[in-house]
Structure 1
């Protein structure tokens, strides 16, 4: 469904150009959920921006379902890519109610089709009956669900999610990560998620990509990422994050010794 072939991307700075992605390759099958995992500044969001059409490539190609989206010479406009994006801050329109937020990308449909699609998407994310409320009347988790419903409503071929749990408290993140996976699978969506949190990546993804300084170091299933890391650095990164997650959970459960160790 998605093919990134040797893509490179850089941004202009006062001192020339800063390369943020270097010769990156990955592919994603239809219906798969993948996650890009790495520290802040490693290039994760830049991958999403390139796929969405917000940034032109320096080299390489991006194809979606066999259609060329970007290369060195052309960059298809975002609105023609059949790519949906759920932003880190959800970007819900505060002056629109929930139904109008979800239906924002459906203006070419008839009023009946639009109402039915809004109804179906709100039912999918467990928000039926809240269509007349406004974003400020919802919790963070409910806003996340509405943002997901809005991104899914136009039936994109590919859904991109940029740090979808960053605005939620620690206790809610892991639970909602599993819920997000279930919702995406129920919708039959092909999705690429960006996060710096390993627990979220392992909860959501069929395939995990680890980025370091613009390079894709490993692209594998969660099992292989954990049990068969390609380098000692990735092994240390994965197991250190897993240990921190265990200690955080122990802290939340009120275990003083683990809290002190964390």
Structure 2
């Protein structure tokens, strides 16, 4: 019997945490393997946490990491599926930071670009064919805005990889509970709520983290969707009404 396995990176963030909760509840998902620098304060029978150094993802042995945690045999079916290689994990990536958090443009690029691409390459090694990435509205490799340029470069590099389906999700300003306060974003949200209420700039309407996660799960679990697809914030709003 095949088991539906899901890989997730960026689980501690707004969208990532919502992804976990929705994947736990989904009847088609048997296992959720979360990759992160630190262990989440979260327990669930479907959840397996793998602590990783994102600078060394090429050295990660997922099978070995699961085996280390399988002392009671709770993860035996997942371990067998990974060892056989007959499951193709669905992959969700919501890795990302800000230049302020990263400390410099170089560190921002390393986290938002290099870590994402490394995670995508690692997932391909385990047979993944479907990959969903949380990008951003305005992502464009030719943009003069550094943030948008990096996001656009990530998108272009992912398109060159061998996925049967690549979903590039471009949310506008995210609504939800953040661990840190970003004053500029909070002001922006108030302003954008006002202009969208007036019917202006609908494509920039702020979107909740759980809506983005729901749209991603919906797309990824629909095996009929193939190719490279960009899903706008407005489309995510319509998908999750």
TM-score by length of 1: 0.30
Structure having the higher helix fraction is: 2
Structure having the higher strand fraction is: 1
Larger Rg: 1
**Relative contact order, higher structure (CA 8 A, sep 6+):** 1
TM-score by length of 2: 0.32
